[in-house]
Structure 1
Amino acid sequence: MYRLLILVGMSMYLIGCSTSTSSPTKDSELADKKTNILVLIGDDIAFGDLGVYGSEIKTPNFNRLAKAGVRFSNFHSSPVCSVTRSMLMTGCNNIEVGLGSFDYSFYPDSKGKPGYEGYLTENAVTISQLFSDEGYDVIKVGKWHLGGEEAGGYGPTHWGFNKEFGILSGGSNHWNNLRMTPIFSDPDFMNKKFEEHWTLNGEKFDRPDGVYSGELYTNQLLKFIKESDAEGKPWFTWMAFTTAHFPIQAPPELIDKHYKFYLEKGYEGLKKHRYKSLKKHGLISHLASEAKENDLVKKWNDLSEDEKKYQARVFATYAAEIEDQDNRIGQILDYLKKSGQLENTMIVYLSDNGPEGMEAENPNTGNEVFGEWIKKNYDTSFEAIGTANSCNYIGTAWANAATGGLSWWKWFIGEGGIRVPMMIVPPGAMVNKYERAGEISDVVFSVKDLPMTILDYAGIKHPGTNYKGKTVTAPSGISARAFLDGKSNIVRSEDDWYAFELFGNAYLMKGNFKLMKVRKGMFGDGEWHLYDVVKDPSERVFLEKKMPDKFKEMMALYKSYEMKHNLVKVDEGWNAFQAASEAN
């Protein structure tokens, strides 16, 4: 069997690990070894953010992955992080495993109903449990955001992880142990900062100040891997970085190099630049149109000169976060190469959703009280940007620009919120000839297909509906191994449709066609529309009148999905951002 490495976009760095290397493993020995799995999850990274996806940000280590494996240009996550992670962990629909809502936002009528718990429930078996059953060291490093402590549910040790390090929440300060948000229920929250709860193997961990998150996580990751190797045990690792999630902070030496470019381009200039680059590199169709203007987005020329400089510095810091992520991945690849493990490693990289467009001062997509807390407790000066005492976010305009030829961003089910970078390098492809090496593919691919692909390459059979005498939900994800091995040109056929719903916004994918509805409370028109998202990734061309039979067919499929899962009907005017403010 081969080793499997899955990289899901976040930063990494080696600390305190031996530099000794082992001799290359012989082919006969490789055949007897179990597949090692490394899942690396990027946080809030846009489809157009990586150099290998047409970005101006240089990402040479992502390029190494793209050159050896396959880049997917029609891969869909969910629009928010914990929901994506639930599907990535189980291969099931989010509503089947408790993530019909999530901890930051609940629709009032959904509370207490099955599927809307807001944390990972035991309705399904996780791939971490299945790897644990096979005798693997099962390792979690970084962000969890699937339950535990205040959020309800369970932390990683409940789900088969025997080694863990990091945070349970959705993000934290990148330089110290502070929470990224206040505890709003504290009567004196406006006057203080709050500590994040860090753990190492289930015990409280005193996070050192001044060590960047990517460095801290990568050090511990490689330490865990080295321990497993020394014990001769195979390993499954869930590595979840917190870059590029807010607060936008980064090593200062990486920020300056990006500043001038964004000051010159501005919001509209970057949007157009990335749109053209995505098209030039074949990552969106040559038929694609530019995305429509968004009424929630500020115009660059409406800013003062000082505001332009400030905003350019914030996005330069965001770019530095992505560059740091690339550097960490390079360190991991280098370590695996020196230790002889690239020969039997499969690598997957993905982001959990599109870029975060939250703005504290924006009444449509933010929380004004949160903005006041930032002003009172953090340094909002130009000079402080990127430091531990800053708390910035890129906001709607930069989030919109980052997606290039796509529309919308995190929280939204437009392509900018759910179409994200994803690459797979099959076992051995980093060092041996691979038939699909360097390809860009627009095959339909869902995040819930990844765990089934992982299990397939690891040679682990999913138990279906019965796990250790308990009835569980069978996954609806599909293994992509036949495609990756060159035995098929598709992952999902026309008949392998899938649906998704969150807060009354919903879509269904069937082939290249996407049926979608966005409620008025989330700035849509409340109507169902049909798109071909391969030819029209900016979702500008309505096809429901041109293709009425296809529209009716897909509507019937979605209605069957809605009924089967007892989806809670959401009021047309309800705003999920306001609910998130209330929940916090």
Structure 2
Amino acid sequence: MTGPTPAPFEPYRDWPGTARTTMAESTPWWPERPRARAGSPNVIVVLADDLGFSDVGCFGSEIPTPHLDRTAEDGVRYTNFRVTPLCSPTRAALMTGLNAHAAGIGFPTQIDPGFPGYVSELPVDQPVLPEVFRANGYATLMVGKWHLCREDDFSEAGSRHNWPLQRGFDQFYGFLEALTDFHHPHRLYEGNSVVHVDEYPDGYYLTDDLTDRAERMIREVRAADADKPFFLYFSHGAVHAPMHAKADDIAEHRGRYDEGWDVVRERRLARQVELGVMPPGTELPPRNSEAGHDVRAWSELNATERAVHARHMEVYAAMVASLDRSLGRLRALLAELGELDNTVIVFSSDNGAARLTDQPRPAPSWASGDDTGTATYFGYMQSPGVPPAVDEDLPARLDELGGPTTWPHYPRGWAMACNTPFRLYKFSTLRGGQQSPFILSWPAGIAQRGAVLRRQYAHITDVLPTLVELIGLELPVQREGRPASALAGTSLVPTIADPDAPSGHTEQYTECVGNRGYYRDGWEAATHRRPGVPFSQEEWQLFAPDDPTQRRNVAGEHPDKVVELKAAFDEAAWANQVYPLDEGSGVKHLQHPPRPAPRPLRILAGTPTLERHHASMLVQGTRWSVDVDWAYTPGDEGIVLAHGGQAGGYQLWVEDGALWFEQNQYGDPHRFGPVPLDAPSSALELRVEVTDGRWTATVLVDGTERLVVPGLIRFLSFLPFEGIDVGICRRSPVSWELYQRRRSFPFTGTLRAVTYRPDPDSWEQLAARAEQARELGLGLQ
């Protein structure tokens, strides 16, 4: 039986409801694509991380920053430019033109306690900077730190809806979270994919890598289209901890800080007055004296403290110089392309210079106080019970500071100097926490050149509307079919053109971890939060317009002004989703959307590194274990499993016929073994149990207990900072000594998988702690 005869082929077969036409008879139609206006400038926004107001040469620094200084000479500097006192909130405000809480990011994106101002991701209805530029025909490029999506979404299985490519960037190369290792970055992304790296080359440095990639992106765009402008967001990880720099760069600053922070403050202020950054007669406020923020006189330090602290600042200065060199490379490329004059360059920092925690810590024996800085950032910040071995040995290891075996952060005396001439640091609503250098240049588009200063109040929310007006962009009014919110910021264009033009931004609220502040027409009111103190008992300080360094609290002289600004803060806080305030109970870290209880996880050998957030959840709680599925044969060697890196972690490996276990206690290695493997074994189990806040590691071979190690450090929260590897130790090594001999040391035998068995009771404990935190917070209103 045969089917119907097919119809003959007809090249112009009619479609239903259409007339027969030829291509020559038809009118061509193409979908409209966004095109930039002829002659539109390129735009580069460079954002530093934790950079102080005075850290750039043209804002008073002794650190050589010739390329930033030249950029300033090509444009204008704003001397009263404000950001939020924290990284993610500033970045959210920059991206959206909204206040940070209104954009849903009132705190770094490691939280989601269930309140609109703290959802840790950008609003779905608000176009962000790259989407604005893309809609206007620009190529959109990004390198560096994103830090605008939830940590649940960092992994390959996470939602990418708030990653850079989904928020308007054509290309992205960088990292998604707050910080990373500059010598061995723990997790880089290219576009929507993780960059898989076993070992970084010797001499690798993140800022150089990001600059290489930015140059490549620019060259790619220009080779493909000679006329299409680009928008590049260069979001530095520098100078956030860990304060890492290349050895040669550090050496260039040797001896520069031997005179200490008091002298540096005085010299920077003198230079600021000379440059016009600060008005004549400006006086330094006294050294910070608030509890946990206080700084001793340099002259009171002993010789060892001065040597260690000076080296910390040499490392920091090297990081700042590398950031400047990065901009210099971009400027050189633009000059080679003939496009430097027609490129808008914006530069600022996301908050003031940062201090370490205000929690009291035991000082090393060589120190006469606790303001010592650290070579072990996570050890200092996360675990009060960590023995201070790394910092205890630091005077003998100064040449390692800033290198790959350390995770440094300078003492708060240097943060005070970096914020000259302002008080306090990152997190504070005083000016030291929120005043940043700001440079805007466009040689072909604005007439101002040379040492041009603007003293008008300006805010990070002003950047988006400024670029829109300055370049003549069309601002999208909706996103995904939803109307966008009105921008909180105002354009700086009138003040760029006229030094006497009034600021369009006359008032602004600030809030950070319960610290509150309000600016109105030069007057500023602010609180200095002490966690655990009821908000009703907090004192509001008041500073007059003629007191830029906030030396004198005049609240007692102007009580009506205090009442006025407190009421203004309250109104703005309700309008911008600031409430509920962070009272210090810790509830924001404990309360999160419902998650399933952790289940056993089998990780096959050869699996790329399990992302650090998901890896850390496997080792929380009171107990956990891991089973190794392998077939050991004498002569096999290599890493069995590794979790973490030089910042802290643990690993299990076989070498010379024996099993070894090592825990890196935030830079302090503790090795245990050997456990001889004399005969073939089909089963190996490592069980780590937590007792009395510490870990006890028990190694069993074929069910027989072979090694018991009590009193280990218990890694908390998001640590270890690198994820889990099976059969290799990728990137930053847990054991530097082993890495020097064997590098990443892949396992040579038959290793099928490891299975982690987390403690399901952990989530119930977390819920109980959250309830306790809520009860505590109820008494602090």
Q: TM-score range by the shorter chain?
A: 0.7 to 0.9
Q: Which amino acid aligns with 1:216?
A: D
Report deviation, 1:436. 5.3
Identify which of 282, 294, 299 aligns with 1:297.
294
Partner of 1:310: 308
CA distance, structure 1, for counterparts of residue 390 and residue 561 of structure 2: 54
CA deviation digits over 1:437-488, x for unaligned, max 9? 4212211000000111112223223234x33421332211111112223396
SS at match of 1:164: strand
Equivalences for 1:225-240 in 2 at 5 Å? 225-232=218-225, 233-240=228-235
Q: Which amino acid aligns with 1:542?
A: N
Partner of 1:245: 240
Give TM-score, length-normalised by structure 2. 0.62
Considering fraction of residues, name the structure with more strand: 2
Identify which of 450, 453, 456 aligns with 2:463.
450
Give the 3 Å change call, closer, same or farther, for CA 33–371 of structure 1 in structure 2: farther
Larger radius of gyration: 2
Considering fraction of residues, name the structure with more helix: 1
Identify which of 194, 197, 216 aligns with 1:204.
194
State whether residues 346 and 439 of structure 2, in contact with CA within 8 Å, keep that contact through their aligned partners in structure 1. Answer: yes
CA distance, structure 2, for counterparts of residue 571 and residue 126 of structure 1: 27
SS at match of 2:341: helix
SS at match of 1:220: helix
State whether residues 378 and 390 of structure 1, in contact with CA within 8 Å, keep that contact through their aligned partners in structure 2. Answer: no
Give the 3 Å change call, closer, same or farther, for CA 83–568 of structure 1 in structure 2: same
Equivalences for 1:475-554 in 2 at 5 Å? 475-486=487-498, 489-492=501-504, 496-521=506-531, 526-532=538-544, 535-554=546-565
Give the 3 Å change call, closer, same or farther, for CA 521–259 of structure 1 in structure 2: farther
Partner of 1:69: 75
**1:384 and 2:400 aligned:** yes
Q: Which amino acid aligns with 2:528?
A: V
**1:100 and 2:111 aligned:** no
State whether residues 141 and 233 of structure 2, in contact with CA within 8 Å, keep that contact through their aligned partners in structure 1. Answer: yes
Report deviation, 1:337. 1.2
State whether residues 88 and 108 of structure 2, in contact with CA within 8 Å, keep that contact through their aligned partners in structure 1. Answer: yes
Give the 3 Å change call, closer, same or farther, for CA 328–257 of structure 1 in structure 2: same
CA distance, structure 2, for counterparts of residue 373 and residue 141 of structure 1: 37
State whether residues 124 and 480 of structure 2, in contact with CA within 8 Å, keep that contact through their aligned partners in structure 1. Answer: no
Report deviation, 1:275. 2.8
Give the 3 Å change call, closer, same or farther, for CA 173–360 of structure 1 in structure 2: farther
SS at match of 2:260: helix
CA deviation digits over 1:516-556, x for unaligned, max 9? 222222999822222135x3222122233444554443333
CA distance, structure 1, for counterparts of residue 453 and residue 282 of structure 2: 16
Give the 3 Å change call, closer, same or farther, for CA 522–163 of structure 1 in structure 2: farther
Report deviation, 1:571. 6.3
Q: Which amino acid aligns with 1:259?
A: R
Equivalences for 1:113-152 in 2 at 5 Å? 113-150=115-152
Q: Unaligned regions of 5+ residues in structure 2, if any?
A: 1-35, 155-160, 362-369, 372-379, 592-714, 719-781
Report deviation, 1:329. 1.2
SS at match of 2:509: strand
Figure out how many residues of one structure are paired with residues of the other and give that number: 525
CA distance, structure 1, for counterparts of residue 514 and residue 541 of structure 2: 15
CA distance, structure 2, for counterparts of residue 260 and residue 371 of structure 1: 34
State whether residues 165 and 220 of structure 1, in contact with CA within 8 Å, keep that contact through their aligned partners in structure 2. Answer: yes
Between the aligned residues of both structures, percent identity stands at 25
State whether residues 127 and 455 of structure 1, in contact with CA within 8 Å, keep that contact through their aligned partners in structure 2. Answer: no
CA distance, structure 1, for counterparts of residue 232 and residue 169 of structure 2: 9
**1:214 and 2:230 aligned:** no
Give the 3 Å change call, closer, same or farther, for CA 522–477 of structure 1 in structure 2: farther
Higher relative contact order, structure no. (Cα contacts within 8 Å, ≥ 6 residues apart): 1
Q: Which amino acid aligns with 2:457?
A: V
CA deviation digits over 1:186-209, x for unaligned, max 9? xxxxxxxxxx22111212214534
Report deviation, 1:578. 9.8
Q: Which amino acid aligns with 1:568?
A: Y
State whether residues 42 and 240 of structure 1, in contact with CA within 8 Å, keep that contact through their aligned partners in structure 2. Answer: yes
Equivalences for 1:183-582 in 2 at 5 Å? 196-206=186-196, 208-209=200-201, 210-232=203-225, 233-263=228-258, 265-295=259-289, 296-299=293-296, 300-359=298-357, 362-363=360-361, 367=381, 369=383, 372=386, 380=394, 381-428=397-444, 434-435=447-448, 437-464=450-477, 466-486=478-498, 489-492=501-504, 496-521=506-531, 526-532=538-544, 535-570=546-581
Report deviation, 1:219. 0.7
Give the 3 Å change call, closer, same or farther, for CA 225–72 of structure 1 in structure 2: same
CA distance, structure 2, for counterparts of residue 346 and residue 360 of structure 1: 40
Report deviation, 1:503. 2.2
Report deviation, 1:572. 5.3
Q: Which amino acid aligns with 1:353?
A: N
Report deviation, 1:85. 0.2
TM-align CA RMSD: 3.1
State whether residues 264 and 417 of structure 2, in contact with CA within 8 Å, keep that contact through their aligned partners in structure 1. Answer: yes
CA distance, structure 1, for counterparts of residue 171 and residue 149 of structure 2: 17
Report deviation, 1:399. 0.6
Report deviation, 1:281. 2.5
Give the 3 Å change call, closer, same or farther, for CA 551–486 of structure 1 in structure 2: same
Q: Unaligned regions of 5+ residues in structure 1, if any?
A: 1-29, 178-195
CA distance, structure 1, for counterparts of residue 560 and residue 357 of structure 2: 41
Which 10-residue stretch deviates more, 280-289 or 91-100? 280-289
Q: Which amino acid aligns with 2:142?
A: K
State whether residues 75 and 419 of structure 1, in contact with CA within 8 Å, keep that contact through their aligned partners in structure 2. Answer: yes
SS at match of 2:253: helix
CA deviation digits over 1:235-277, x for unaligned, max 9? 11111111111111112222123231212x2232222332333
Give TM-score, length-normalised by structure 1. 0.82
Report deviation, 1:375. 5.5
CA distance, structure 1, for counterparts of residue 434 and residue 483 of structure 2: 31
State whether residues 482 and 488 of structure 1, in contact with CA within 8 Å, keep that contact through their aligned partners in structure 2. Answer: no
Which 10-residue stretch deviates more, 218-227 or 361-370? 361-370
State whether residues 426 and 484 of structure 1, in contact with CA within 8 Å, keep that contact through their aligned partners in structure 2. Answer: no
Give the 3 Å change call, closer, same or farther, for CA 577–371 of structure 1 in structure 2: farther
CA distance, structure 1, for counterparts of residue 336 and residue 559 of structure 2: 57
CA distance, structure 2, for counterparts of residue 498 and residue 359 of structure 1: 27
SS at match of 1:541: coil
Report deviation, 1:34. 2.8
CA distance, structure 2, for counterparts of residue 537 and residue 206 of structure 1: 49
CA distance, structure 2, for counterparts of residue 469 and residue 546 of structure 1: 52
Give the 3 Å change call, closer, same or farther, for CA 151–392 of structure 1 in structure 2: farther
State whether residues 142 and 173 of structure 2, in contact with CA within 8 Å, keep that contact through their aligned partners in structure 1. Answer: yes
CA distance, structure 2, for counterparts of residue 95 and residue 163 of structure 1: 27
Report deviation, 1:95. 0.9
CA distance, structure 1, for counterparts of residue 552 and residue 62 of structure 2: 29
Report deviation, 1:369. 1.3
CA distance, structure 2, for counterparts of residue 557 and residue 224 of structure 1: 45
CA distance, structure 2, for counterparts of residue 240 and residue 124 of structure 1: 20
CA deviation digits over 1:176-227, x for unaligned, max 9? 12xxxxxxxxxxxxxxxxxx22111212214534321221011100110111
